[in-house]
């Protein structure tokens, strides 16, 4: 499969005519052939209209059909092999190992969603039996299940060209829910997006589904994305990217004549709290792991640990020294794009030139173009309390060490932080009392709490939570990774006193789909 510069609208691959863009190799500083054609507003309309046309048949596909489609899409993705890996490496500067790992995880996630669809728990099938004899009012027969919302628009992320992009968790969970998907490819990995889009497009055809189940649009400079969110056929949006971009789309979704939810994952610094027992006994080890995790992927990870907090006392100097010592050996590496590189340097410069934070260590100086130099800053908790922007995200290989004066100040600082994807406690048994005080505060700030572990990976499974209070995401009730990500694209519907002949299969008395259901408050085995 060759990269052609075309987008996929249903079963048709065609070149957009609203302008041209090229992908960019951040290591070489050169554009990559071929040109990509930007979608016109008519293309957006066509993709969304097709998605709406596909919705009725797709939402009624059997669990087997939908599961088989997801597995076929995953297999087609894996079959792209070296063509995909080479293209993704050239478009992002990420290592081939990283790209292979992302691809394997993306395929595994698709396959997990095939199981999710087949198990059917996502339907939440629930029956409340009638009681005609109840007085003063007879009790009705109530039957509830969840059904898909409708076509979903997905905005791929710049920093994970495969795992959070065209075939990522947003797409996989929406398709699993029974929602057709229209993806807006991210400009920093256009060829990668085209290849992955064609793998899904092929799976749609191979499984004899309606062509509108999947489309991929090429856009640049907001126009395509805005038209996508505005289109009346679109019923929900999945987004990963910047806070400004995410919130612009949240506002846009809310301002439509028929408002829609925009599930945006945006920004997080993922604080690590080193409690006194851990600080005393293993500061060098914690520092080494922190530096390794904060610089992995040149720090361009939503789960990058970007903040380390400790109370001044025994071990603090050691922690600071070990952070500086470890970081000084970290090589500068190529960042994903000129935009991300410029943003990172702007943020780092602001911290460096600020009156309150001090640069305590730098990695080796950059030698090549777009290489991000690692850096750690130190600031007192009192300064962060006075100027909360000091605790903001620096998207790249930089982090901040925050020095607290006391346990109370540590808790006050934690309570002042913005919402986060993760928060981690590093502790020993002697730290349990402080941990007990901290955990309720952490619960109010994040959706994922880790113990003695750094955050920058996410295990994709049934209990996975990748979300958090604003601004980590726009809606802390949901996760964008893991089996329950499907919940974002479903809504409950209740049938009251419907004749048995009209009930959907999930709610019929003989349980033809063999679902686990709740009947009169008790779990009913299939």
Which residues have C-beta within 8 Å of that of residue 131, sequence separation ≥ 6?
138, 139
- Measured from the CB atom, the residue of 39 and 441 that comes closer to ligand NAP is 39
Instruction: Give min distance, CB of 47 to ligand NAP, in A.
Output: 15
For residues 310 and 378, what is the distance between their CA atoms, to the nearest angstrom?
A: 11
| Residues at the contact surface with ligand NAP, assessed by CB under 6 A | 155, 157-159, 184, 186-187, 219-222, 225-226, 240-242, 245, 248-249, 265-268, 302, 340, 343, 395
For ligand NAP, give the closer residue by CB, 245 or 325.
245
CB of 434 to ligand NAP, least distance (A): 29
Q: Are 263 and 480 in contact (CB under 8 A)?
A: yes
Say how far apart CA 230 and CA 215 lie, in whole Å: 17
Q: How many Å apart are CA 93 and CA 261, to the nearest integer? A: 34
Closest to ligand NAP by CB, 101 vs 245, is: 245
**Of 91, 102, 194, 265, which one is the catalytic site residue?**
265
The nearer residue to ligand NAP, 149 or 340, going by C-beta atoms, is 340
- Among positive and negative, which fits the CA dihedral 309, 312, 316, 321? positive
Rg (CA), the chain: 25
Query: What DSSP line would sit under 318-361, residue for residue?
Result: HHHHHHHHHHTTPPPEE-S-HHHHHHHHHHHHHHHHSSS-EEEE
Least distance between ligand NAP and beta carbon 333 (Å):
16
User: Nearer Cβ to ligand NAP, position 54 or 340?
Assistant: 340
Instruction: Count CB atoms within 10 A of the CB of residue 52.
Output: 17
Minimum distance, C-beta of residue 12 to ligand NAP, in the bound complex (Å): 22
265 is catalytic: yes
Q: Is 48 considered catalytic here?
A: no
Supply φ then ψ for residue 521, to 5 degrees.
85, -10
Q: Which is nearer to ligand NAP, 249 or 483 (CB)?
A: 249
Beta-bridged to residue 143, according to DSSP, are 127, 495
Q: Please give the order of strands across the beta sheet that includes 358-362.
A: 358-362, 375-380, 398-404, 307-311, 271-274, 423-426, 449-451
Cα 178-420-490 angle, rounded to 5 deg: 15
Q: Which of 188, 201, 295 is nearest to 13 (CA)?
A: 201
DSSP state letters, 291-304: HHHHHGGGG--TT-
16 contacts 42 by C-beta, under 8 angstroms: no
Q: Which residue has the tokens 């899409």?
A: 73
Q: Pick between residue 127 and residue 248 the one whose CB is nearest to ligand NAP.
A: 248
Q: How far is the CB of 467 from ligand NAP (least distance, A)?
A: 12
Residue in the structure block whose two tokens are 């808790």? 411
| Least CB distance to ligand NAP at residue 426 (A) | 22
Residue closer to ligand NAP, measured from CB, 10 or 187: 187
> Phi and psi at residue 360, in whole multiples of 5°?
-105, -15
Distance CA 206, CA 211 (A): 11
Closer to ligand NAP at the Cβ: 148 or 306? 306
Residue 145 buriedness (CB in 10 A; 0-12 / 13-18 / 19+): buried
Q: Work out how close the CB of 165 gets to ligand NAP at its nearest, in angstroms, rounded to a whole number.
A: 10
Catalytic member of 48, 91, 211, 302: 302
Identify the helix (H) or strand (E) that includes residue 33.
strand 30-37
Least Å distance, CB 55 to ligand NAP, is: 23
Structural contact between residues 485 and 169, judged by C-beta atoms closer than 8 angstroms: yes
Active-site residues, by number, are 265, 302
């Amino acid at each position: 499969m060759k990269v052609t510069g075309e987008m996929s609208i249903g079963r048709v691959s065609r070149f957009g005519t609203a302008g041209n863009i090229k992908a960019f190799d951040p290591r070489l500083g050169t554009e990559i052939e071929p040109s990509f054609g930007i979608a016109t507003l008519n293309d957006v309309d066509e993709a969304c209209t097709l998605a709406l046309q596909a919705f009725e048949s797709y939402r009624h596909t059997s669990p087997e059909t939908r599961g088989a489609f997801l597995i076929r899409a995953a297999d087609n993705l894996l079959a792209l092999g070296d063509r995909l890996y080479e293209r993704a490496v050239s478009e992002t500067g990420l290592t081939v190992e990283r790209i292979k790992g992302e691809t394997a995880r993306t395929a595994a996630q698709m396959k997990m969603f095939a199981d999710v669809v087949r198990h059917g728990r996502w339907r939440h099938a629930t029956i409340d039996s009638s009681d005609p004899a109840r007085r003063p009012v007879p009790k009705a027969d109530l039957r509830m299940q969840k059904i898909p919302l409708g076509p979903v628009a997905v905005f791929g992320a710049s920093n994970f060209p495969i795992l959070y992009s065209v075939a990522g968790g947003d797409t996989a969970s929406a398709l699993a829910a029974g929602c057709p998907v229209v993806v807006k490819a991210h400009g920093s990995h256009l060829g990668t997006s085209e290849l992955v889009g064609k793998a899904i497009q092929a799976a749609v055809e191979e499984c004899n589904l309606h062509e509108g189940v999947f489309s991929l649009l090429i856009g640049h400079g907001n126009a395509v994305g805005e038209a996508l969110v505005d289109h009346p056929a679109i019923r929900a949006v999945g987004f990963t990217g910047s806070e400004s971009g995410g919130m612009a789309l949240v506002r846009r979704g809310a301002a439509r004549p028929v408002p829609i939810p925009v599930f945006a994952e945006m920004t997080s610094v993922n604080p690590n709290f080193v409690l006194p027992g851990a600080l005393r006994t293993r500061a060098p080890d914690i520092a080494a792991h922190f530096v390794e995790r904060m610089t992995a992927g040149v720090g361009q990870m939503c789960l990058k640990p970007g903040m380390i907090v400790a109370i001044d006392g025994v071990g603090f100097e050691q922690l600071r020294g070990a952070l500086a010592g470890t970081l000084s050996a970290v090589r500068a590496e190529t960042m994903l794009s000129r935009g991300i590189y410029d943003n990172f340097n702007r943020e780092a410069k602001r911290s460096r030139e600020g009156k309150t934070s001090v640069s305590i260590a730098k990695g080796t100086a950059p030698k090549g173009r777009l290489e991000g130099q690692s850096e750690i800053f130190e600031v007192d908790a009192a300064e962060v309390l006075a100027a909360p922007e000091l605790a903001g995200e620096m998207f790249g290989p930089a982090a901040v060490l925050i020095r607290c004066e006391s346990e109370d100040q540590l808790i006050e600082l934690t309570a002042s932080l913005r919402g986060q994807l993760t928060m981690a406690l590093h502790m020993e048994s002697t730290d349990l009392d402080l941990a007990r005080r901290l955990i309720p505060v952490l619960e109010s700030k994040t959706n994922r709490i880790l113990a003695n572990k750094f955050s920058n990976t996410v295990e994709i499974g049934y209990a996975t939570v990748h979300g958090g209070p604003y601004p980590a995401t726009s809606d802390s009730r949901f996760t964008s990774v893991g089996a329950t990500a499907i919940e974002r694209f479903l809504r409950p519907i209740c049938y009251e006193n419907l004749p048995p002949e009209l009930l959907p299969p999930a709610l019929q008395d003989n349980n033809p789909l063999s679902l686990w259901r709740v009947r009169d408050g008790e779990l009913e085995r299939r």
